Amino acid sequence: MTSRTLCLTHLFTFALLLGACPSDDPGETGSADSSGGSADSGSTGECMPEMVSVDPPDESACGALPTDFVPGADDDYPACVTDNGEWTPVLEDPPGSAARVDAYEMMRSLLLGHTPTADDFLAARMQYALDEGLESRILRREDLHFPRIADADQDAGVDFDKQCTVGDNVSKYPDRCVGPAKISPLINESFAAGMTGEGDPNVHAARIDAAVLWFLFVSTYKESSSCVQLPEDCDAHRGYYDGATPRAMPRGLAAQIDAVSPMAHDAVEDGIMAIGCWRDLYPDALTWADFGAEGQQVFSSAHEQLDNGLWYAFARLVRDRLEKHPMACGSEADASWAWLQVAGPVLDPEATRRDAAAGATLGATWTNAAPAVADLEAAIAAIDAAFPCPQCDGCEVAITYGYD
């Protein structure tokens, strides 16, 4: 069991006797609701110790599915370039996505680990707005966990994976067009507040951090699908996850997941290697039809392995923040909860699809302005119920949601 201290508003006189609650890591603080609404809820006040106890996740029962790619093992895949568990570039080395992860790391150094100033926000905003950088991709990013934009709303003169830039598709398909509809407004609002000194800068920084992680999560999955037509996107999908670094030296989203669960990190990396293996087996295919029935099935298995690993990994990241949240006080608690209110709802649709009760619990958690110990424990239990392992038999995303 692990025990942590919950910081709650309390009478000032009592708080003086108790002193302040320490924080695990001032750089690991939170965000706000994923609708883009304001998250600056104000200080939670002084601290009153309470205890929250949760069992660590039991990963011992988790294991590869028969359809999974397992580097260096006897699996159903023919011999391919990623059998050694390391990436071999397809077309782009390094991919542009790696530079975007570098920019994210620079943003973190400017905004987290201390209370950022207006100048820090301005400098971070410049990293965000670099040419061909994070902002340019967030403004067109699609989430392939949701149905495609209808053919009638697509423009044949626009690239197949940039249809969210067409007409009013952002407002008509806000879930699919997650970048411009949800992530970009949230980031812009937080930067504007941080640069003008409005509200709590730690809250704004936390929201930006969680929103970029959300983008990296979505992009890893999206680029693995657009790799059907654009082989270089296979390199990009790996770069969005780990910064195009060796498995043992991850950056960005991967580094944070590896710090929480090395098994979760390895599961995502194995899914990435599955995508690389599939691409290596069919190097000349550039349309869905080119792959034939066999290649399409290999892609579906690899894509689903990656997706399941990503869901589990992101769930572990959110779970860890929930578990650490009670350690924070005052502005740190506000920032921690703001981070969770952005990153947490990312899990809701998949959690609901797998376990309706768990999804309902999580959905109610993120809208709770003052969660109690029991609320945090219930949310952790819901995550464990919906995402017990990096494998999920029968959790396939509709193939029609992808690109052909």
257 pLDDT tier (thresholds 50, 70, 90) = very high
Average per-residue pLDDT in the chain?
A: 89
In a 10 Å sphere around its CB, with 0-12 CB exposed, 13-18 middle and 19+ buried, how is residue 347 labelled?
buried
| One-letter identity of residue 393 | D
- Give the pLDDT confidence score for residue 327 in this predicted structure: 64
pLDDT in tens, 350-391: 999 999 999 999 999 999 988 888 999 999 999 999 999 999
Q: What is the pLDDT of residues 159-187, one digit of tens each?
A: 999 999 999 999 999 999 999 999 999 99
Closest CA to 104 of 260, 307, 251, 283: 251
DSSP calls for 187-229: HHHHHHHHHHT-S-HHHHHHHHHHHHHHHHHHHHHHHHHHTTT
**What value does the mean pLDDT take over residues 12-39?**
38
Residue pair 16/196 in contact (Cβ under 8 Å)? The answer is: no
User: Which one-letter DSSP state was computed for residue 151?
Assistant: G
Please tell me which residue, 216 or 37, carries the higher pLDDT value: 216
Q: What is the reported pLDDT for 51?
A: 63
3-state secondary structure of 333: helix
Q: What is the pTM of this model?
A: 0.89
Write down the pLDDT at residue 370: 86
Summarised one tens digit per residue, pLDDT across range 329-346 is 788 889 999 999 999 999
How many CB atoms sit inside 10 A of residue 312's CB? 27
- Tokens 């988790």 map to which residue? 62
Contacts of 187 (CB under 8 A, 6+ apart): 128, 135, 138, 207, 208, 211, 212
Going from the C-alpha of 185 to that of each of 43, 71, 207, 246, the distances in angstroms are 24, 40, 11, 33
Q: Which residues on neighbouring strands pair with residue 2, listed in sequence order? A: 54
pLDDT for res 140:
98
pLDDT for 348:
98
The whole-number pLDDT of residue 259 equals 98
pLDDT digits (tens, 9 = 90+) for 109-123: 999 999 999 999 999
* pLDDT tens track for 135-167: 999 999 999 999 999 999 999 999 999 999 999
List of residues 6+ apart from 30 with CB closer than 8 A: 203, 206, 207, 210, 321, 325, 334, 335, 336, 337, 338, 339, 340, 341, 342, 343
The conformational region for residue 372 under phi > 0 = left, psi -120 to 50 = alpha, else beta, is beta
Categorize the per-residue pLDDT at 53 as very low, low, confident or very high, splitting at 50, 70 and 90: confident
Is residue 199 scored above 50 in pLDDT?
yes
Q: And the tokens for 220?
A: 């890893």
Q: Examine the pLDDT at 41 and tell me if it is beyond 70.
A: no
Within its chain, how far is the Cα of 253 from the centroid?
7
CA separation for the pair 391, 17 (Å, rounded): 48
Residue 42 has pLDDT above 50, yes or no: no
How far, in Å, CA of 273 to CA of 52, rounded?
38
State the pLDDT at residue 21.
39
Residue 66: is the preceding peptide bond cis (ω within 30°)? no
- pLDDT for the residue numbered 95: 97
DSSP-derived 3-state class of residue 4:
strand
The whole-number pLDDT of residue 47 equals 54
Q: Is the pLDDT higher at 121 or at 18?
A: 121
Buried b (16+ CB within 10 A) or exposed e, 32-52: bbbebebbbbeebbbbbeeeb
For residue 296, give both structure tokens.
């399409």
pLDDT digits (tens, 9 = 90+) for 71-107: 988 899 999 999 999 999 999 999 999 999 999 999 9
**pLDDT greater than 90 at residue 5:** no
Could you list the beta-strand ranges (E) of 120-197. none
Instruction: Report which secondary-structure segment, H or E, holds 3.
Output: strand 2-5
